[in-house]
Amino acid sequence: MDTNSLKKALLLMLVIVTIALVSWEIRLRKIGVQPTFDAGDVLWSDKRAMVYEPKDKVTVFIGSSRIHFDIDIPTWKTATGKQVVQLGIDGSSPMPVLTNLADDPNFKGNLIIDITEGLFFSTSPFNMEEPNKGLKYFKDRTYAQKASFQINKVLESRFAFLDKENFSMNAYLAELHLQNRPKVFEMPIWPWQFSGASFDNQAIMYPVFVSDTNLQVRVRNIWAMFAKMGEKDVPMHGKELDSLLNVVKVSVDKIKSRGGNVFFTRTPSSGPYLIGEQMGFPRDKYYERVLATTGCQGMHFQDYASTKNMICPEWSHLDQPQAVVFTKELIRVLRDEKGWKL
Amino acid sequence: MIFNSYTFVVFFIIVMILHNLPFSWKTKKINLLLASYIFYAAWNPVFILLLWLSTIIDFYVGKALYVQEDKRKKNILLVVSLIGNLCMLIFFKYGTFLLDNFVTLVNAFGVDFHPAKPNIILPAGISFYTFTTLCYTIDMYKKESAPVKSLLDFSLFVTFFPHLVAGPIVRPPQLVPQFENERKASQDQIIQGLFLLSLGLFMKVVLADSMLSVAANAVFNSNQPLASLDAWMGVLAFSGQIFFDFAGYSTCAIGVAACLGFALPQNFLYPYAAIGFSDFWRRWHITLSAWLRDYLYIPLGGNRNGKFKTYRNLMITMLLGGLWHGANWTFVAWGGLHGFYLWVEKAILDARKETSKPSFVPKFLLAMATFFLVNVTWVFFRAGTFAQAGSILQSMFGMMPKGNAVLTTLAIWKVGVIVVGMVIAQWLMRNRLVLDVIPKLSWWAFGSIWAFMLLLLIWSQESGSSFIYFQF
């Protein structure tokens, strides 16, 4: 092939790629997709590196997906004038991150820990996998990876199609829903409308999800599937629970001994999900024991008029308007009732 | 820094711009050298010191070796270079492994010795650049090529970023002469280089990471007995993953070097179309195979001292080749199994020569038999322990009747389609290079294929996972 033909091939390649990407982006925007950030190890590590700000400037949140959805970061920033470091990781126990922060002598800040009972009171390796992966990435990340993150940030903030979870090749292939052999576990697929992540690592439920009950039912079915999978598991109790509470206390004490503050919160859930949680993990035997063992204060959503009747569209997470309300109430409780200087 | 990262894209654009500005050739080489150090330091800056140490020792020892006539002094110089290079490699790569084995041994003799686990970080690419510098000093010792005149050229030979971290393992005569006179890529070279870079990334990101890694990881990370189908699919997935990952890296390296006007040696030539194991090692990681042949097998005596020593030398070479890949006995077993295959092949070929029996077996079937046996060896390469390797092999050969199914139907389809496609493509291409095929295509077909690969690359959205061979 002569130089001229090679140049024509290069040009054709560029034209096809450009047209395909632009068309794809336009199509996604038309159906309401907005640019979001991949809430994976890379974004998480960027936030993890921010925990060292003085405690009068930043509050760190850890937990699972509920804290991810339920803390509205712009609201927090506006109301307090301070930063939020969101370290919640979906579907996981906060224990590895709590231990990591407790063992980090440079962390001396405000820490708020969400209690989603099924995940908090668990030692299942599966629930530790993602936090441990995130912590490993944070520890091992190279200068090149940090630089790539900065470039990626610019691209992800502009292009909706850059969403691995929902619009990558594997995400589309998963939509084929091929029948699996018996006993083969396959992660369910959440509808893309369920949520997107902001650069602050806040999960935000799309308005289209809030208004579409079919989509909500789809996600509720996923929770039901998980509940069915775990129906034979007996909630942690006895010595196992004592041991876990001891680990929490040791970590909390370490943070407090360095001048840090630790606070627990029970974010809202509703419907059958809440009923199941109340049956499996009665408040007095679990949530209250955490507070009693650690000597920390907490905020249970059922204790406050503005939050106790919150309805989660898919039973487990708040939509953004409710997240704003919950965040404001949390700030009020911390300031007015618990004496935090926010 | 890895090729499949945004950082590399920006880095490469800057390097290309600097390389095409009207600077003197010396300035351009300094730019390339600095860029290579940045490329390496972006991973862990401290280990640049090892590179410098290795470069300085071998440059001066190499020069002294070449001019030294006194045999005794020459041997001392060679030992200094070997100690300098191999000690670093042994400490960083095999330190923990050696300690573990020592502890196991003394414990077996009843000595209660339990030292703390050393926390040694493996510098990226140390096995590759150690072999690059070693071959230089050995060549100088044997006066097989002239010493490199300038420290700049030698540093660039060792550190040139396209090959630095995962090869191809270059020899001085392959690269050093290219630094002597100004090199500037032609437009053809740049376009072909960019195509090879895209192809390498497509192999790594789309095929290895996006399509195959999930199935391979699911099977090899599983601690339970597996169903036969799952074990086979996991092994086939790894077989494809390791090829696309490593051949993808080499293709990127060759493409990047071409864009700068340099030629690096081929490292892969459709190994899964190999007919027999000698053929496999002429096609898989070619520069390592050639290195082991020239600097280990032949110095051991090669095939010059009778059958027994030929077989012995072959096995030693393969065992050490296995150990080069990783500090674990499973890698040694992998090498040993390949050594055994080579023994059997050699015995068959020798016997056939004597009886002059014609072969009636179609070549394709022989290639498939080779591929089948190579897959068996990958079990040892990927498994963390012999127990796991044994369990997977039992599952593969139907000795686990109650094995669990772990792979989704989609994962099985992905592995099936990609691996079958890979084998057919390699068979059809077995005597050709990619760049030989391009001229036979029309420009629009070439442009369309290129666009298709790039779109899949973007669509897969796999972010910067490391190349498997970095850990070696």
Which pTM value belongs to this model? 0.88
Closest CB to B451: pick one of A12, A155, A178.
A12
Put simply, whether A170 touches B (Cβ < 8 Å) is yes
Using an 8 Å CB-CB cutoff, list chain A residues near B404: 183
Using an 8 Å CB-CB cutoff, list chain A residues near B459: 168-169
pLDDT digits (tens, 9 = 90+) for B150-209: 999 999 999 999 999 887 999 998 999 999 888 889 999 999 999 999 999 999 999 999
Put simply, whether A19 touches B (Cβ < 8 Å) is no
pLDDT score recorded for residue B338: 96
Q: Identify the residue whose tokens are 């704003």.
A: A324
Put simply, whether B404 touches A (Cβ < 8 Å) is yes
Put simply, whether A168 touches B (Cβ < 8 Å) is yes
Residue B37, min C-alpha distance to chain A (Å): 13
- Give CA torsion, residues B306, B312, B314, B320, to 10 deg: -150
Contact between chains at B405 and A181 (C-beta distance less than 8 A): yes
Put simply, whether B224 touches A (Cβ < 8 Å) is no
Residue A303, min C-alpha distance to chain B (Å): 43
Put simply, whether A275 touches B (Cβ < 8 Å) is no
Check pLDDT > 80 for residue B119: no
How confident is the prediction for chain B on average, in pLDDT?
Answer: 90
Residue A44, min C-alpha distance to chain B (Å): 14
Partners of A261 in beta bridges: A110
**Cβ under 8 Å to A: B residues 148-187:** 186-187
**Cβ under 8 Å to A: B residues 412-471:** 413-414, 438-439, 441-444, 446-448, 450-451, 454-456, 458-464
How confident is the prediction for chain A on average, in pLDDT?
Answer: 92
Closest CB to B450: pick one of A13, A145, A169.
A13
Residue in B with minimal Cα distance to A165: B461
pLDDT score recorded for residue B445: 94
pLDDT score recorded for residue B435: 86
Read off the pLDDT band of B305 (50, 70, 90): confident
Residue B401, min C-alpha distance to chain A (Å): 16
User: HEC profile for B147-216?
Assistant: CCCCHHHHHHHHHCHHHHCCCCCCCHHHHHHHHHCCCCCCHHHHHHHHHHHHHHHHHHHHHHHHHHHHHH
**Cβ under 8 Å to B: A residues 43-82:** none
How many Cβ atoms sit within 10 Å of the Cβ of residue B298?
Answer: 14
pLDDT score recorded for residue B470: 62
Residue B157: helix, strand or coil by DSSP? Answer: helix
* Mean pLDDT within A313-332: 95
How many Cβ atoms sit within 10 Å of the Cβ of residue B314?
Answer: 21
pLDDT digits (tens, 9 = 90+) for A249-270: 999 999 999 888 999 999 999 9
B306: which 2 tokens?
């009778």
pLDDT digits (tens, 9 = 90+) for B342-386: 999 998 888 876 555 556 568 889 899 999 999 999 999 999 899
Q: Percent of chain B scored above 70 by pLDDT?
A: 96
Closest CB to B188: pick one of A6, A147, A148.
A6
How many Å apart are CA B433 and CA B428, to the nearest integer? 11
pLDDT digits (tens, 9 = 90+) for A47-100: 999 999 876 788 999 999 999 999 999 999 999 988 899 999 999 999 999 999
pLDDT score recorded for residue B68: 84
How many Å apart are CA A256 and CA A250, to the nearest integer? 10
Contact between chains at B459 and A12 (C-beta distance less than 8 A): no
pLDDT score recorded for residue A8: 94
Check pLDDT > 90 for residue B145: no
B433: which 2 tokens?
């290079």
Contact between chains at A145 and B464 (C-beta distance less than 8 A): yes
Nearest to A51 by CA among A39, A42, A41, A62: A62
| Strand A58-62 versus strand A110-114 pairing type | parallel
Residue B244: helix, strand or coil by DSSP? Answer: helix
| Strand A196-197 versus strand A203-204 pairing type | antiparallel
What is the per-residue DSSP string for A34-92? -----TTHHHHHHHHTTTTS-TTTEEEEESSHHHHHH--HHHHHHHHS-EEEE---TTS
Read off the pLDDT band of B116 (50, 70, 90): confident
* Mean pLDDT within A3-16: 94
pLDDT digits (tens, 9 = 90+) for A279-293: 999 999 999 999 999
Closest CB to B459: pick one of A142, A168, A184.
A168
pLDDT score recorded for residue B471: 60
* Active site (annotated) includes residue B325: yes
Higher pLDDT, B354 or B238: B238
pLDDT score recorded for residue B4: 87
pLDDT score recorded for residue A302: 94
* Mean pLDDT within B64-78: 88
Contact between chains at B10 and A144 (C-beta distance less than 8 A): no
pLDDT score recorded for residue B242: 95
Residue A6, min C-alpha distance to chain B (Å): 6
Contact between chains at B6 and A152 (C-beta distance less than 8 A): yes
pLDDT score recorded for residue A7: 93
Q: Which of B19, B163, B285, B325 is catalytic?
A: B325
Contact between chains at A178 and B410 (C-beta distance less than 8 A): yes
Check pLDDT > 60 for residue B146: yes
Contact between chains at A142 and B45 (C-beta distance less than 8 A): no
A175: which 2 tokens?
């939509």
Residue in A with minimal Cα distance to B457: A169
* Alpha helices by DSSP H, chain A: 3-30, 41-48, 65-70, 73-80, 95-102, 117-120, 125-140, 143-156, 164-167, 169-174, 207-211, 213-229, 238-257, 271-280, 287-294, 320-332
What is the distance between the terminal CA atoms of chain A, rounded to a whole angstrom? 68
* Mean pLDDT within B269-280: 94
Contact between chains at B413 and A5 (C-beta distance less than 8 A): no
Using an 8 Å CB-CB cutoff, list chain B residues near A145: 5, 7, 464
Higher pLDDT, A264 or B105: A264
CB B402 within 8 A of CB B225: yes
Residue type, position A149, single letter: F
pLDDT score recorded for residue A186: 86
* Mean pLDDT within B133-143: 90
Check pLDDT > 90 for residue B47: no
Residue A207: helix, strand or coil by DSSP? Answer: helix
pLDDT score recorded for residue B108: 84
pLDDT score recorded for residue A306: 92
Residue A266 DSSP one-character state: E
Higher pLDDT, A263 or B98: A263
